[in-house]
């Protein structure tokens, strides 16, 4: 009888999609205008879903204030108003596609969320495309 | 080859989070401003998802007018413009967290929805947090 | 050549619509289920619009961090997770309809926003009804 | 370690719900105003979800430009600004309920999406009701 | 010190854009795929805004239940699940563009709304285009 | 008897807020994390409103396909997936605040929209703040 509770958050960041070991032409061919060397950016809207059982004492699955603080420290402080390629260590050698950002965010949260809970994230890169990842 | 069809509904209600057997200080510590003795409230937005097979005769999984009527009788009539703590029997001894409200709503609907269907609900307490429950 | 910049905020509150000098029957007749003596509640979503000229030095019409702080102090701290009828002085003798809440919010903000700016607010009581007020 | 990426699309179409082998009275009884012989219509909002593994070379699960083109050819070109009953071959003998439209859309996409990927669609008939189908 | 209160509503309808006195080619040239002789359709989302002064006795600008009933009778009963070209008298000789639908809806409401109030409508033809009209 | 029709569009871009003639400390003090030298970014969502009279021959205020093309050429091609500071001539010496972007977008559109029409734009920098400008 498990239930999932979702909390929304958001961060704004710049990025470019490219591989250092590819020529500009190859990057342009595969990543199109997303490979602009001067960067572009997005408002990333995040939903963090925690799955577990309700604590019969409080009626909470998880304390949302605690969850909110974890999201702030692990995601917002790390990614908000940042250049993902230049300033976020995880993307030094990893292409910051929305898929890879989702993996990075999930892994950062997973370390801080008690293992008794399931973890799923939805990450909107724009209002028109998003990913769902649950490990 | 099953499919899920969702129908949205909503209700506005007042509540407070607290345990009668706890001191005011303990309630304040655990539930924060949500434990305000004078209540606060929300617009609860509900999505009811019914999973099953399509009836080949009609092309319907379930008649949405019938579903709409069940949601009205079981959820809206019972919870809309109510004080959950004072006026809804299920919360006389159950803390009306969004998690517990989801369980109560699901159980009320489950009794009225044919057992051949799966049932999932999404319940938004605010535009920024919501729960998903499917039994 | 003026421009308007909007900032969103929100607060959750309980209220009931009624007049003390009316009978229960009269209150019920005029305010319907909104007059429930045990209260109900809403997620109020607020948009605060500031009209003025762009400061040529900064490119800002107004510093949004400053505006955000004013909204927090004047609106969120005063109304969030409150019972409007019982805990907010302005509604001791004023019926907390969405129209009157909009007036109260606007008046509170107007005192703190420099007179050189125009002020408009949009206040959603539910996703389905809202008011616009600009003094 | 699979992930799902969603891309949104939309089409506007007319339809009516009815069975040719039923009397007008029977169609009216079962399908209500949706059986209007002169048709009515909707803005169908579609989300196409592709499940798979991230290509370590690109960081993409699937190239969204390719997916967008498939959705355009298979769904938008086929259904947008069409009368589903009269102009879309799949609905010549199939009632165009939102459930059946979802099946038709899924089947059309499934043929064009590499079998290594999972496929799920969400189809909104109105902002208040939608279906989810994954085969 | 006037204020505007908005109430949302919606209707689903089929239509085609064309002029009877034009050739098919001319209609196709001007109205594109919107001139499909077999019709297409939309979910029209409507916001009705009433401007006036707050009644000091009730705190209401207008009773929203009364407004809701007027919208139901004048707009929803007249247009919902209809073919605008064939079944709505106002469009027998008037092209049902979103602009003209807005005028028709506004005129129908204007006759039923007390002249002391201002009236504005917002009419969404799709989530991506809409009109605003206030007489 | 004028009416306004809105069309939505969008572009994703990187920017930073700063003045070249200010020290890093001063830029940081005034623009906060928005002055990050490595840039950050947003999904800008744009609504273009055209005010005028309905053409009695077509029922159109303006041909939306023509408007869509103007928005594509003037706004999307110029700003989408760009670094506003480095790649957009208008921001070589103008700070790309949302206020200034709105002015630039409005001026670009104004030159291409027939002078008989009024022009208003709404520009969302994030889902939580936006500007409205009409000249």
> For residue F45, what pLDDT is reported?
98
pLDDT in tens, A41-74: 999 999 999 999 999 999 999 999 999 999 999 9
* Alpha-carbon span E75 to E109, nearest angstrom: 8
* Alpha-carbon span F29 to C47, nearest angstrom: 26
pLDDT tier at E102, thresholds 50, 70, 90: very high
Kindly state whether F45 is in contact with chain E, defined as any CB-CB distance less than 8 angstroms: no
> For residue A88, what pLDDT is reported?
98
Q: Catalytic residue among D29, D40, D73, D81, which? A: D81
Closest listed residue to residue F95, CA positions, set A80, C60, A41:
C60
Neighbours of D1 (CB within 10 A): 8
Closest listed residue to residue F50, CA positions, set F120, F127, F124:
F120
CB contact under 8 A, A41 and F42: yes
Closest listed residue to residue B114, CA positions, set B56, B48, B51:
B51
Kindly state whether A92 is in contact with chain D, defined as any CB-CB distance less than 8 angstroms: no
Closest listed residue to residue E86, CA positions, set E11, E12, E16:
E16
> For residue B98, what pLDDT is reported?
98
CA dihedral E17, E18, E24, E30 (to 10 degrees): -70
Q: Which of F19, F103, F129 is facing C5, going by the closest CB pair?
A: F129
A-chain residue closest to D64, CA distance: A129
Of chain E, the percentage scoring pLDDT greater than 90 comes to 99
pLDDT tier at A1, thresholds 50, 70, 90: confident
Kindly state whether B68 is in contact with chain D, defined as any CB-CB distance less than 8 angstroms: no
pLDDT at C1 over 90: no
Contact between F102 and F75 under an 8 Å Cβ cutoff? The reply is no
Tokens of F54: 């309905």
CB contact under 8 A, B99 and A5: yes
Tokens of E135: 């007489």
* Alpha-carbon span C42 to C98, nearest angstrom: 10
Q: CA angle, corner C118, sides to C113 and C119, nearest 5?
A: 65
> For residue C117, what pLDDT is reported?
98
**CATH at F8:** 3.30.479.10
The torsion angles phi and psi of E29, rounded to 5 degrees, stand at -65, -45
Q: CA angle, corner B130, sides to B125 and B131, nearest 5?
A: 120
End-to-end CA distance of chain A: 21
End-to-end CA distance of chain D: 21
Contact between F61 and F55 under an 8 Å Cβ cutoff? The reply is yes
> For residue F1, what pLDDT is reported?
77
- Region B20-48: mean pLDDT is 96
- Region D40-69: mean pLDDT is 97
Average pLDDT, chain D: 97
> For residue E1, what pLDDT is reported?
77
* Alpha-carbon span D112 to D67, nearest angstrom: 9
Looking up tokens 């949405």 gives: B64
Q: Which of B31, B100, B128 is facing A8, going by the closest CB pair?
A: B128
Measured CA to CA in angstroms, residue E96 lies from C67, D84, E130, F39 at distances of 44, 20, 14, 47
Pick from E41, E77, E85, E87 the residue to mutate for testing the D interface (most D CBs within 10 Å).
Answer: E41
> For residue B120, what pLDDT is reported?
98
Residue D10 DSSP SS3: strand
* Alpha-carbon span A122 to A113, nearest angstrom: 16
* Alpha-carbon span A121 to F14, nearest angstrom: 25
Q: Which domain holds residue E37?
A: 3-133
Kindly state whether E4 is in contact with chain C, defined as any CB-CB distance less than 8 angstroms: yes
Q: Which residues 6+ apart lie within 8 Å of F45 measured at CB?
A: A127, F8, F9, F10, F123, F124, F130
Tokens of A118: 């399931």
A-chain residue closest to D53, CA distance: A99
pLDDT tier at E131, thresholds 50, 70, 90: very high
pLDDT at B1 over 90: no
pLDDT at C45 over 90: yes
* Alpha-carbon span B116 to B53, nearest angstrom: 9
> For residue C19, what pLDDT is reported?
96
CB contact under 8 A, A130 and D54: no
* Alpha-carbon span E62 to E4, nearest angstrom: 10
User: Does the annotation mark D87 as catalytic?
Assistant: no
CB contact under 8 A, E127 and D87: no
F-chain residue closest to E131, CA distance: F5
Indicate which residues of F carry an active-site annotation.
34, 81, 125
pLDDT in tens, E21-36: 999 999 999 999 999 9
pLDDT at F112 over 80: yes
User: Does the annotation mark C42 as catalytic?
Assistant: no
B-chain residue closest to A64, CA distance: B129
Tokens of F114: 């027939």
pLDDT at E71 over 90: yes
Q: How many structural domains comprise chain B?
A: 1
Size of interface A-B (CB pairs under 8 A): 48
Give the count of alpha carbons within 13 A of F28, CB side only: 5
DSSP codes of every residue in E41-94: EEEEEEEEEEEE---TTTS-SS-HHHHHHHHIIIIIHHHTTEEHHHH-GGGSSS
Size of interface B-C (CB pairs under 8 A): 78
Give the count of alpha carbons within 13 A of F134, CB side only: 11
Residue D111 DSSP SS3: helix
Tokens of E59: 């705190």
pLDDT in tens, F69-109: 999 999 999 999 999 999 999 999 999 999 999 999 999 99
* Alpha-carbon span F122 to A98, nearest angstrom: 27
pLDDT at F25 over 90: yes
Q: Which long-range contacts (CB under 8 A, 24 or more apart) does C19-26 make?
A: C19/C95, C19/E57, C19/E58
Per DSSP, chain D holds a count of helices (H) and strands (E) of 5, 5
pLDDT at E99 over 80: yes
Handedness of CA D30, D33, D34, D39 (dihedral sign): positive
What's the complex ipTM? 0.95
pLDDT in tens, C113-124: 999 999 999 999
* Alpha-carbon span A61 to B102, nearest angstrom: 12
Q: Which long-range contacts (CB under 8 A, 24 or more apart) does B66-75 make?
A: B67/B7, B67/B113, B68/B7, B68/B9, B70/B109, B70/B112, B70/B113, B71/B7, B71/B9, B71/B46, B71/B109, B72/B9, B73/B112, B74/B105, B74/B108, B74/B109, B74/B111, B74/B112, B75/B9, B75/B11, B75/B46, B75/B105, B75/B108, B75/B109
CB contact under 8 A, D4 and A100: no
Per CB-CB distance under 8 Å, the chain C contacts of E5 are 98-99, 129-131
Report the DSSP pairing between strands F129-133 and F82-83. Answer: unpaired
pLDDT at D109 over 80: yes
Looking up tokens 């008794």 gives: A116
- Region B42-54: mean pLDDT is 98
């Amino acid at each position: 009888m498990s239930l999932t509770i979702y909390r929304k958050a958001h961060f704004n960041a710049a990025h470019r999609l490219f591989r250092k070991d590819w020529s500009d032409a190859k990057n342009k061919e595969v990543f199109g205008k997303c490979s602009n060397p001067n960067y572009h950016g997005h408002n990333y809207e995040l939903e963090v879903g925690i799955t577990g059982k309700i604590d019969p004492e409080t009626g909470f699955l998880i304390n949302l204030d605690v969850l909110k603080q974890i999201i702030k420290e692990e995601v917002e402080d790390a990614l908000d108003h940042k250049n993902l390629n230049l300033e976020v260590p995880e993307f030094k050698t990893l292409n910051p596609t929305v898929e890879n950002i989702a993996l990075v965010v999930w892994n950062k949260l997973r370390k801080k969320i008690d293992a008794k809970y399931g973890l799923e994230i939805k990450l909107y890169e724009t209002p028109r495309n998003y990913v769902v990842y649950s490990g």
